[in-house]
Structure 1
Amino acid sequence: MTTARRCPGCDLPVMPQVARHGQSAYCPRCQTRLYRGSTVRFTGELAIACACLILFIPAHFFPLITIRLFGVMIPATLPSGTLTLASDFPAVALLILFCSSIAPFLVSTAVITAQLGLKFRKFGLFHRSLWILEHLKHWAMFDVFLVSLGVSCFKVQDYADIFVGPGLYSLVLLQLLMGILLARLSVNRYWEAWQPETDHKQTEFSLHCHSCHMTQGDHSHCVRCGESLYKRMPHSIQKTWAYLLAATVFIFPANLYPISIFLNNGKRVEDTIFSGVATLVKTDMVGIAIIIFVASIVVPVAKILGLGFILLTIQFKRKVNHLQRMKLYRFIQWIGKWSMMDLFVISIMVTLIDRDQLLDFTPGPGAIAFGVVVVLTMLAAESLDSRLIWDNYEQRTQQPTTRTGQHQA
């Protein structure tokens, strides 16, 4: 790396510094990783993406688990809950399908199409593939689904015998490969392979392209990818407030209305999120109760309060604790997907427990509101431009720090 650049996290002008193989260069102010010091090789990512696509078939069509309920063997595949919910709760079913199947499939496919676009110089294919990698990687939730499957098994163990299916082994391996793939992915590397920043002789470094992450002069459009340039994301604060206020409105019905309805020998039990947690505590499933409480109550509320706090400090131009607010923002981005756990549990339970009037499990109206809260809080985190946190921080050019990276590209 031989050109100065602006940090995508805080917009600090950073002077070049060489990072050795196995190390990464980080912004000295906000600790955002700027680049990795290793040889660019995409063959490993291509092999992992192809392996993921191959594993999609057994992970989706073979049973994850099979239970024996009243003498009947009931298999559960990854998409079976979505198909069961589709008729009565299409929006919830679509959200579950998107996070458990569509998003990870698109991410794996985008790695392949990005490399095809790079090899054959097809800019449209290349650009769209990198957009998918940039925006959908946080929506690939195999890890959340696997934890939800474990929670569901604990819930049904009193009613049925549980048998592990071949699909579960495929899904675990698929999650491991997907985790490695996401850890290795760097959109910046793909853009540098398409056209290095050094090909453009820059005399000023005033803007950072939000699409291809190239630092350049004050132009209307990026000289590398052609996207519109802006100093900050347009209407970032307004969009984030809109998503956040809407999520705040929906969090009340999500917690006050029943999220699940359980029918046992003609007795109908409607549980809200909180009452479901209380029931788990009463039945000596304290560990599962804590997981559900944190994922379904603490996390959504914490995301709303955390983003609200960050927005208020931006608008009131607070001049302290910038790094702490940046760490809070990153934590909110990372933890956001775990709110999907309750919806995944519902989809699995709907598949496993369906014995008409004898034993039945269906979502309640609170599930729809809860799904809306999950989507809105994740969109709120994505719409916030983190550089706004640092706008009233003293600007100065610094050297990036280097330390041994956890992953090599």
Structure 2
Amino acid sequence: MTDTSQLTANRDSNHHCCKICSLVVTEVPLEVGQGAYCPRCEQKLYQSRKGTISVDLALALTCLILFIPTQLFEFVHIRLFGVMISSSLTSGAYDLFEGGFLALSLLIFFCCSVVPFLVFSSVILSHFALKIRNRALLKLSLFLLRNLKQWVTLDVFLVSVAISCFKLKDYADIYFGYGLIAIILLQLMTFLLVIRLDSRNYWEAIKPSLERQSTGTMLHCHTCHLLQPIKTKCDRCNSRLYWFKPYSVLKTWICVIAAAIALIPANILPISILLTNGKRLEDTIMSGIFSLINSQMYGIALIIFTASIVVPVAKVAGLSYLLLNIQRGNDHEKRLRTKLYLTIKWIGRWSMMDLFVVAIMITLVDRGQILDFTPGYGAVAFGIAVVLTMIATESLDPKLIWLSPPEEKKRELLTNE
């Protein structure tokens, strides 16, 4: 980690704008493995890595090759009442669609198949855009990367597989397939790819930013991260320039309120229905957790309680707290509120765990057998709440946390000019 005291304003150097608090700092050379951190909010600005963006391309191609067996091969087989049943990454979405749960089916298919394919393809497309020097194509591919990479949930899916197997171990013999090995390898490669990706490197490759003197107020492009004098269009990518995300607070409030409403039926209505020996057992999220506790599966119960109860409620409460402080112009504990925002952003996708468990269970516990499983309408409401909280997190501009009332008035005047 580099000494943050070096990141001070210099009137004759390349500059970086912190994406979290909008502080403009001077770029300093780093040794391989070192990172530069913002002196105000302590978030990473950039990192010096060994290798070039060609490493990103190699990882993306590897991921795309591994993606094929994850979609084609079964990752688990069970012997249920003498019948072998298998599940692949896409079979859960298909069975939900067959059962009439279209929204859940599309969400599972989107996270398990569409998003990974688009993320890997976008990296490859970015390199093709650099090769033909096409800025519009580069802008499109990086837009997809920026907005989709947080929806890559293979790690959450793997935990869901473990939970499903624990639930079924008393009813069936469980065998793992080659698809599971492919998913684990794909998750590892995806992790390496995502932590390396930095859209700045691609924009610098197609058009390096020139050294600029800090002679006045500079505006940061949210698309290509170029610092430039105040204007309406970016010099490098031609995107519209603005201080903050348009209508950020309003859009976030709408999503937060809608998510809070959706959480009510998500916790009241059954999330799963199990038919066993002619008995109909309906489980809400909490009753399912209590069933796991009664079965002495304390670890699984804790994981589901955290992902399905604590995380969604904490996200709604945390985002509401951030929004209220932004609207009040609270000038205290900004660094703490920034960490809260980043935590909310990171944990959001783990709420998908319950939905993945539902998708796996509906595939493995075959209809028409003595044991039958179907999702309840609580799962639909929960899926809506998960999606809304993730959209709300992306809608909120963290730079608003660092905006003080005097600075807000100054920027309004600059915008009007």
Q: TM-score, normalised by structure 2?
A: 0.92
Structure 1 outlier segments of 4+, above 6 Å: 199-202
Aligned position for 1:69: 80
1:287 partnered with 2:285: no
Q: 1:141/1:219 Cα in 2 relative to 1: closer, same or farther (>3 Å)?
A: same
Q: Is contact 2:329–2:404 with CA below 8 Å preserved after alignment?
A: yes
Q: 1:355/1:39 Cα in 2 relative to 1: closer, same or farther (>3 Å)?
A: closer
In structure 1, how many angstroms separate the alpha carbons of the residues matched to 2:216 and 2:151? 36
In structure 2, how many angstroms separate the alpha carbons of the residues matched to 1:105 and 1:122? 22
In structure 1, how many angstroms separate the alpha carbons of the residues matched to 2:272 and 2:258? 23
Aligned position for 1:106: 118
1:15 partnered with 2:26: yes
The one-letter amino acid of 1:59's match is T
Q: Is contact 1:58–1:167 with CA below 8 Å preserved after alignment?
A: yes
Aligned position for 1:4: 15
The 5 A counterparts of 1:68-147 are 68-87=79-98, 88-147=100-159
Q: 1:393/1:166 Cα in 2 relative to 1: closer, same or farther (>3 Å)?
A: farther
1:382 partnered with 2:394: yes
Q: Is contact 1:277–1:289 with CA below 8 Å preserved after alignment?
A: yes
Q: Give the drift of 1:191.
A: 1.0
Q: Give the drift of 1:180.
A: 0.4
Q: Is contact 1:205–1:215 with CA below 8 Å preserved after alignment?
A: no
Which of 393, 396, 403 is the aligned partner of 1:391?
403
Q: Is contact 1:262–1:268 with CA below 8 Å preserved after alignment?
A: yes
In structure 2, how many angstroms separate the alpha carbons of the residues matched to 1:204 and 1:114? 33
Partner SS state of residue 127, structure 1:
helix
The one-letter amino acid of 1:190's match is Y
In structure 1, how many angstroms separate the alpha carbons of the residues matched to 2:106 and 2:132? 35
Q: Is contact 2:74–2:180 with CA below 8 Å preserved after alignment?
A: yes
Q: Give the drift of 1:200.
A: 7.0
1:298 partnered with 2:313: no
Which of 363, 367, 377 is the aligned partner of 2:375?
363
CA deviations over 1:137-174 (Å, ceiling 9, x no partner):
00010000000000000000000000110110111000
Q: Give the drift of 1:58.
A: 1.1
The 5 A counterparts of 1:172-191 are 172-191=184-203
Partner SS state of residue 317, structure 2:
helix
User: What value does the CA root-mean-square deviation take over the aligned residues?
Assistant: 1.6
Q: Is contact 2:13–2:213 with CA below 8 Å preserved after alignment?
A: no
In structure 2, how many angstroms separate the alpha carbons of the residues matched to 1:158 and 1:224? 60
1:308 partnered with 2:320: yes
CA deviations over 1:34-82 (Å, ceiling 9, x no partner):
2223466122111111111111111111110100111111111110000
In structure 2, how many angstroms separate the alpha carbons of the residues matched to 1:303 and 1:102? 25
1:340 partnered with 2:363: no
Partner SS state of residue 210, structure 2:
helix
Q: Is contact 1:204–1:216 with CA below 8 Å preserved after alignment?
A: no
User: Which stretch of structure 1 is more off in the superposition, 73-82 or 34-43?
Assistant: 34-43
CA deviations over 1:332-377 (Å, ceiling 9, x no partner):
0000000000000000000000141511100001111000000000
Q: TM-score, normalised by structure 1?
A: 0.94
CA deviations over 1:74-105 (Å, ceiling 9, x no partner):
11111000000013101101001111111111
Aligned position for 2:255: 243
Aligned position for 1:44: 55
Q: Give the drift of 1:31.
A: 1.9
In structure 2, how many angstroms separate the alpha carbons of the residues matched to 1:319 and 1:189? 34
Partner SS state of residue 86, structure 1:
helix
Q: Give the drift of 1:196.
A: 1.2
CA deviations over 1:266-325 (Å, ceiling 9, x no partner):
100111001110111111111111111000000000000001111111111111111000
Aligned position for 1:405: none
1:35 partnered with 2:36: no
Q: Which has the higher contact order (CA 8 A, sep 6+)?
A: 1
The one-letter amino acid of 2:88's match is T
Aligned position for 1:231: 243
Aligned position for 1:398: none
Q: Give the drift of 1:201.
A: 7.4
